[in-house]
Structure 1
Amino acid sequence: MISDDRSQLQPARFYTARIGVDGDGVHSVDFTGTHPFRQPDGSVYPPASAGDGKVVDPEELRVDPRGCQYVWAQEGDRPKSSSDPVIQPSIQFAGRTGEYRGQHPLPSNYRITTGDWGIRRNQSVEAITFGAWGGLLTSAVEGPLIQDGPVPDLERGALIRVTQQNRSGQMWGQFAYPLEKIFAPSDPTSPWGPDTGVPAILAFPDDPDRYLVLERTWVAGSGYKIRLYDATTRGATDVRNMDSLNGQQVVPMRKELVADFDDLGLSTIDNTEGMTWGPTLPNGEQTLVLVSDDNFVEDAVTQIVALGIR
């Protein structure tokens, strides 16, 4: 499990744990270790206050099915001020104790650029997954690129980009995924606007075109809306050569609602941002294990949820 601490509390890191899951639910979460991610020179990543432009914002961690090394994504930073450094997003390879093992090439339109172009601040590469038994690495940006149109509002959703690449980084395809519109108006007294995006995707191992897609939305006064979709790239327009999706006629990925967390009877619904396949149950159901991000604040929780997928 990856921490999204930008080395402010401790060096950017990940944890290992054993999670007890069966047909009766989640029984235990036992942490077994932690390791910092290492830079190429072996040092840990510094906090933003160091001012050297080497900050990372860890968001997703996967185990490579071929060789069991780790692959992790960090979304970089589009600075608020022109005097601050641009931190590009990256997908990196790491050993089992966090040592640097190289980088996976990103599509050129995943870069943070100046002006009205490129990835939005804090809506970068947050979702990665292996498919085709490890032959494909798929990534998704959390929100729409600036040139692809505005972020979702109460009237309309938005298109984000999902990219399939082989293990060497060669692009197999890039597709538009339709993000839902905002589900409720914001509390007008809040200084914070709504926040929505795709924090995680998960490939079906035996179908390179099929994914579970997690959509997470927060609205001031209404809390979180967490929805899980079954989506496919089959039949969708390959948009890799389209500079902008704004106003273009494209066929997006088709999706079908699998679960709305409001319907699951959970004790609370929080900032769910991670998911992975769990064990297969005796009744044939495949478990799906999800985790929330508490943002290091006291009024949020780190919540483990297990679902049975038929």
Structure 2
Amino acid sequence: MNKLFSTTALLLAGSALPVLLACDKEGDDTPATTAPPTSVASLRYIGEAKVPFKQDYQGTTLGGFSGLDYRADNDSYYLMSDDPSDLQPVRYYTAKLAFDQNSFTGVTVNGVTTLKRPDGTAFPKTGSDATAIYARIDPEGIRYDAATGHIIWSSEGVRNLTVTPAVLNNPFLREANPDGSYVADFGLPPLFQIKATENGTRSNGSYEGMSITPGGRFVFTAQEEPIYEDGSRAAFGVTATTRLVKYDKATRQVVGQYAYKLDAVHKAPVPADQFQLNGIVEVLALSETKLLVMERSFAVGATPDYQVKIYEVDLAAATDVNTLGGLQGATYTPVTKRLVLDVASTGVARVDNLEGMTFGPKLANGHYSLILVSDDNFGATQVTQFLAFEVMP
């Protein structure tokens, strides 16, 4: 449901107090204390809450929410904004969500943290000086690591060949303290580096999201779209193959890669030569061999323009393609996938650019909750929506 913005909340914007974005009543705030489900049979839609367009919070612009994670010990949520310092410095937010098994009534933002570069400085604002373009990143995913109290966040990297020298900033997984200060980078395979040639990671096609496995031993991420060596991108009527990537959290090094077959783009763009894509925008670990994977398809001018599907994926019988420099012509067994939800089937008025996914607390009936969030691209024609679901075991 779309709730009206509280007038009282407007008076709080820019202060040190939390901003209440949409709320009618208290939800079930009992924190989860056990491991998440190991399988998801289906998802039952509970409701929707929206954040007003370009709402101010402590001098920052809310929006671009491309990553979402739940912290059980204090019943709070981490939200990554994908603003690359165009509006304000690269940052993440904390929030409270109010929902129960029957309704979703509110989102309350209660903190913002600037993420720092390894040298301790904030990422420079776009256009602030001649070197700002060469520091540019594309922030996307975020997870809270209960074992360390740190966060892990990601950037898809930036490839810009219109300037000299070219901007070739690699994707990364990065560990940070809760205050945003740098801890360490995870290793990046040379195959995933961004290059000026058509090799490696495509622009805006890499580490969109990630998840820590139950028990904390591994971190999974994914190439949103195929690297050049793995074949063409998905298009209308054309499937594609990308990679799920498994890291050892202790060593921060890749220990496995698995081929994942992407669906074709759901509709033809209008006109036919306009932009289209389908890719992995989030992963959520169920175990060390099972994940939920969210695919997001988009086509300019199509109706609907977005399609979002959630699959349960099993790696147990898949080939580890870690040593393969390209999947075209190679022999391997991809992961298996089972459709859990086409978000359009919920009847929600608009499926927007959903990119974040996390398990939330248990509901009153003992079932887990699952929350999705959309990235509005800071555009007036899009929405920032939170969708709540009951996990059916």
- TM bracket (short chain): over 0.9
| Alpha-carbon shift at residue 257 of structure 1 (Å) | 0.3
Spell out, residue by residue over 1:59-109, the C-alpha distance to the aligned partner (whole angstroms, 9 max, x if none).
001001212211100111112336222111111111112111121112222
Counterpart-to-counterpart distance in 1, 2:161 and 2:239? 25
- Find the counterpart in structure 1 of residue 76 from structure 2: none
- Find the counterpart in structure 2 of residue 245 from structure 1: 327
Change (3 A) 1:132 1:109: farther
| Alpha-carbon shift at residue 299 of structure 1 (Å) | 0.7
| Alpha-carbon shift at residue 41 of structure 1 (Å) | 2.3
Instruction: Describe the SS at the equivalent of 1:115.
Output: coil
- List alignment gaps of at least 5 residues for structure 1: none
Q: Does 1:79 align with 2:160?
A: yes
Aligned mate of 2:175, from 93, 109, 114:
93
Aligned mate of 2:148, from 63, 67, 77:
67
Residues 1-310 of structure 1 correspond to what in structure 2 (within 5 A)? 1-49=79-127, 50-52=129-131, 53-81=134-162, 83=164, 84-167=166-249, 168-188=251-271, 192-204=274-286, 207-220=287-300, 221-222=302-303, 223-310=305-392
The structure with higher relative contact order (CA 8 Å, sep 6+) is: 2
Counterpart-to-counterpart distance in 1, 2:189 and 2:319? 17
| Alpha-carbon shift at residue 48 of structure 1 (Å) | 4.1
Counterpart-to-counterpart distance in 2, 1:103 and 1:172? 16
CA contact 1:106–1:169 (8 Å) conserved in 2:
no
| Alpha-carbon shift at residue 199 of structure 1 (Å) | 0.9
Aligned residues: 307
User: In percent, how many aligned pairs have the same letter?
Assistant: 32
Instruction: Describe the SS at the equivalent of 1:133.
Output: coil
Moved more, 284-293 or 296-305: 284-293
CA contact 2:248–2:254 (8 Å) conserved in 1:
yes
| Alpha-carbon shift at residue 281 of structure 1 (Å) | 1.6
Spell out, residue by residue over 1:208-260, the C-alpha distance to the aligned partner (whole angstroms, 9 max, x if none).
11100000011122211010000011100110111110122221110000000
CA contact 2:187–2:254 (8 Å) conserved in 1:
no
Structure number with greater Rg is: 2
Q: Which amino acid aligns with 1:289?
A: I
Counterpart-to-counterpart distance in 2, 1:307 and 1:121? 32
Counterpart-to-counterpart distance in 1, 2:320 and 2:171? 22
Counterpart-to-counterpart distance in 2, 1:192 and 1:125? 24
Give the alignment's Cα RMSD to 1 decimal. Answer: 1.4
Counterpart-to-counterpart distance in 2, 1:51 and 1:306? 43
Counterpart-to-counterpart distance in 1, 2:145 and 2:299? 35
Counterpart-to-counterpart distance in 2, 1:159 and 1:153? 12
- List alignment gaps of at least 5 residues for structure 2: 1-78
Counterpart-to-counterpart distance in 1, 2:125 and 2:191? 27
Counterpart-to-counterpart distance in 2, 1:268 and 1:154? 21
